[in-house]
Amino acid sequence: MVAELNESTFDSFIDGNKKALIDCWAPWCGPCRRMGPIIEEIAAEAKDFAVAKLNTDDNQSIAVRFKINAIPTLLVFKDGVLVQTLVGLRPKDDILRIMSGI
Amino acid sequence: METDIVVIGAGPSGIQAAIYAARRKVSTVIVGKPSNSAAADAHIENYFGVVGPVKGIDLLGNGIKQATAFGAEFVEENVISAERDGKLFIVKTETGKEYTAKSVIVATGISRVKLGIPGEKEFIGKGVSYCSVCDCNFYKGKTVAVIGDETEAAMSADLMTKYATQVYWMTKDPKAAKALVDRALLAGVVMRDSPPKEIKGDGKVGALVLEDGSEIAVDGIFIELGAKSAADLVMDMDLMPEMDDTIKVDAKYATKVPGLFACGDVVGKPWQVARAVGQGCMAGLSAADYVKGAK
């Protein structure tokens, strides 16, 4: 299971990992439900980056902070800094390529 | 209402599936609008035995006559939801008709998603959305425009009134059921009939420019063309679509979900009437066999 972040755990997670991939989602979002298993697979295989999920409905301040207004959105952090925002459903290979490129 | 099979989609594949299923003497309901089929506007001249070009809409009309003559019930409406209930499927239409079926054949075709106007691509995730159910929450207290003529647009416009303070619905020719249109209007949606021409903004969506030259200041634009997509429909029936929104089927056009079949453009390319019809035949027979086995 991929860890679920919230407003109190988010910052320590992105600061505590050199590279982090955050899947921003909400339960009623169809494309998010499709992204879910892809993120689970990536998390199980990821060696040099951390993966977590963030429910944007329950954690709206983070959605506002990172200007998220469509989900699924993947936030990619390096050294605690946002380096990529990927909007919409993405294939696994695309995500892995982006993660290896940062 | 109870039935053996519901076919979702009234294009060549769905109609052919309904013809074969009905001739196997299983009760069959076909739900969909032939005018929304990709074949409707086509001039067909490469289909066996038909010396063309013939109008797609004429072939579809003939097909519906055949299907109903063989006993299928034709419901010219969009499906707004389909879900599983144990071994059965519950399919609901835009006017509130509800069918409980042993089997469902998804023959929705491929729906157009993108509008193709300047600014659309640039502002994806910056105010342009293709899923109001997903993104409604980000537009509390904002002004939004919903674009589309069909059921998804009507339902999205209605939904957005619960979040946004002002909702415009851009439609020249609303084709959704009157009850859905009326519900949206009653909720305060403002309809505009000039087609959208361009999306403008500075880093994020700021305005929608219309063909008549006017501009509407908006924070969000929801592009909701057509009916509920096959990908969304099958997910609610416990099937995960492929990444390209197609549905994976076996040689009998069965999906991994027992009783759920798919045929036509929605299972992949090439998007040809002849292929769609052949697949519809197979899916109709397979679904009929499934239903008879399940009896």
Same structural domain for residues B240 and B216?
Answer: no
| CB contact (8 A) between residue B124 and residue A88 | yes
The mean pLDDT of B58-68, rounded to a whole number, is 98
- Identity of the residue numbered A52: A
Q: Is the pTM of this model over 0.80?
A: yes
Q: Which domain holds residue A19?
A: 3-101
Q: Does B122 reside within a domain?
A: no
Residue B294 in this model has a pLDDT that exceeds 80: no
Close Cβ partners of B208 (under 8 Å, ≥ 6 residues apart): B145, B168, B170, B196, B198, B199, B200, B215, B216, B218, B221
Closest residue in chain A to residue B239, using alpha carbons only: A34
Distance CA A102, CA A22 (A): 15
Give the domain CATH number at B49: 3.50.50.60
Please list every residue in chain A whose beta carbon sits closer than 8 Å to the beta carbon of residue B221: none
Q: Is A28 on the interface with B (CB under 8 A)?
A: yes
Q: Chain A: nearest CA to B148, how far in angstroms?
A: 19
| CB contact (8 A) between residue B220 and residue A30 | no
Contact B120, B147 (CB under 8 A): no
A32 is catalytic: yes
Same structural domain for residues B191 and B242?
Answer: no
The per-residue pLDDT for A66 is 96
Same structural domain for residues B88 and B218?
Answer: no
Q: Does B116 reside within a domain?
A: no
| CB contact (8 A) between residue A28 and residue B131 | no
> What's the number of domains chain B is made of?
2
Same structural domain for residues B95 and B238?
Answer: yes
Set A20, A24, A32, A35: catalytic member: A32
The per-residue pLDDT for A87 is 95
pLDDT by residue for chain A (102 residues), tens only, comes to 899 999 999 999 999 999 999 999 999 999 999 999 999 999 999 999 999 999 999 999 999 999 999 999 999 999 999 999 999 999 999 999 999 999
Q: Chain B: nearest CA to A69, how far in angstroms?
A: 5
Give the domain CATH number at A79: 3.40.30.10
> What's the number of domains chain A is made of?
1
Q: Is A79 on the interface with B (CB under 8 A)?
A: no
| CB contact (8 A) between residue A69 and residue B126 | yes
DSSP secondary structure letter of residue B288: H
Same structural domain for residues B71 and B217?
Answer: no
Contact B44, B20 (CB under 8 A): no
Identify which of A26, A28, A73 has the shortest CB distance to residue B125: A73
| CB contact (8 A) between residue A71 and residue B134 | yes
pLDDT in tens, B7-45: 999 999 999 999 999 999 999 999 999 999 999 999 999
Q: Does B86 reside within a domain?
A: yes
The per-residue pLDDT for B254 is 98
- Identity of the residue numbered B183: R
Close Cβ partners of B148 (under 8 Å, ≥ 6 residues apart): B156, B170, B171, B223, B224, B225, B226
Question: pLDDT-derived band of residue B112, with 50, 70 and 90 as boundaries?
Answer: confident
Q: Does B120 reside within a domain?
A: no
Closest residue in chain A to residue B126, using alpha carbons only: A69
pLDDT in tens, B153-172: 999 999 999 999 999 999 99
| CB contact (8 A) between residue A70 and residue B138 | yes
Set A26, A29, A86, A89: catalytic member: A29
Q: Which domain holds residue B165?
A: 128-223
Same structural domain for residues B203 and B236?
Answer: no
Distance CA B47, CA B39 (A): 12
Best to test chain A binding among B83, B137, B155 (most A CBs inside 10 Å): B137
Largest CA distance in chain B: 61
Please list every residue in chain A whose beta carbon sits closer than 8 Å to the beta carbon of residue B138: 56, 63, 68-70
Question: pLDDT-derived band of residue B295, with 50, 70 and 90 as boundaries?
Answer: low
Rounded to the nearest 5°, which phi and psi values hold at B245? Answer: 70, 5
Q: Does B29 reside within a domain?
A: yes
pLDDT in tens, B227-265: 999 999 999 999 999 999 999 999 999 999 999 999 999
| CB contact (8 A) between residue A87 and residue B131 | no
Q: Does B37 reside within a domain?
A: yes
| CB contact (8 A) between residue B240 and residue A31 | no
- In DSSP notation, B196-230 reads EEEEEESSSEEEEEETTS-EEE-SEEEE--SS--H
The mean pLDDT of B211-233, rounded to a whole number, is 96
Q: Does B28 reside within a domain?
A: yes
Same structural domain for residues B134 and B206?
Answer: yes
The per-residue pLDDT for B290 is 98
Contact B110, B242 (CB under 8 A): no
Nearest to B12 by CA among B28, B36, B26, B27: B36
Q: Is A57 on the interface with B (CB under 8 A)?
A: yes
Instruction: Give SS3 for A14.
Output: helix
Distances (CA, A) of B243 to A8, A89, A91: 33, 8, 7
